[in-house]
Amino acid sequence: MGGARVALVTGASRGIGDHLVRALLEAGWAVVGLSRSGQVADGAEGMPCDVTDAAAVERAVADVVGSHGRIDLLVNNAGLIETERPLWEADVEEWWQVMVTNVRGPFLLTRAVVPHMIAAGGGRIINLNSGSGTRESDVLTAYHASKSALARLTGGVALAGAEHGVRAFDMAPGVVESDMTRSMELHRGRTEWTDPQDVTELALAIAGGELDGFTGRFLRAGTDDLDELRERSRAGLGEGERMLRLRPWGDDDPVAG
C-alpha cells in the first residue's frame, strides 16, 4: 500500500512524545498519537487511549490499521514515575501503577501491533527506556524496575521478530526538561538538560533503518554520536554489548559460562 510511512506514538500529547510526533511529521511520516486526552500536535491524528487497557489498545490499533493500512513504527513513550522514597515507604497503588504503565502499556501495544508488522513484512519499535533500567535507586524502585523489565521486552521482541523483519530498540532520551523531570527531587536545581533535537534525531535514525544493528540494544540520546552509531551498526556488535547482562566476578565465576 502506498503513501507515507505510518508511526504510532504513545504519550503523544506532551513532553518527549510531543517532540517525537512533531519530528516524525516534519520527516514526512503519517503520525497517530495516543494519549489519555487524545490531544496531539497539528498535522497528526490524535486518539484517546488508556495504554494499560487491553481492549482499548486493541481498538486503537485496529482503527489505525483500518485507516492507514499498516503501522511501520511503534514508539512506546507513555510512562510514569513514582514519588521518590525508599521502597518500604512507598504507596502501594502508586508504586504498582508505575509498573503497570511502564511495562503493561508497551506489552499491550507491542502485542497488538507486531502481528500487523509481520503481515506487512516488518517494522520497528522504539521503547523509551532509561539509564535507570541498568542500575539501582534507593528512592525510585518502581521506575528503575520497570525500565529493566522494559529492556527484557525489547530484547525478547528483537529475538522473536528477527525472522519477520521486526526490530526493537531501547532508546534512552537522557534528561529532557518536562513536567515529569521537573517534578523529581533528583533533578531539582538542574540547569543542563538533554536537547530534544538530540532525541528526535536519534529516533528518526532508528525509524529510518540506519541503526538496525542495534536491535535489542540500548542507545542514548545526547551522549551517543550518530555517526559512530551508524558505523557500529554496519560493523555489528558483539554478544551482550549494549544489553543488560549479569557481570561475573571473573572467568572462575560459575555463572560466567
Contacts of 200 (CB under 8 A, 6+ apart): 19, 20, 22, 23
Lookup: cell for 179 = 513536567
Separation between Cα atoms, residue 75 and residue 151, nearest integer Å: 14
Candidate list 29, 143, 169, 214, residue with the active-site label: 143
**Which positions ≥6 away from 218 have C-beta within 8 Å?**
129, 134, 151, 170, 171, 172, 242, 243
Main-chain dihedrals φ then ψ at residue 31, nearest 5 degrees? -120, 130
The sign of the dihedral angle between the CA atoms of 211, 217, 222, 228 is negative
Helices (H), 188-235: 196-207, 226-235
Q: Is 145 among the residues known to form the active site?
A: no
Q: Which residues are catalytic?
A: 143
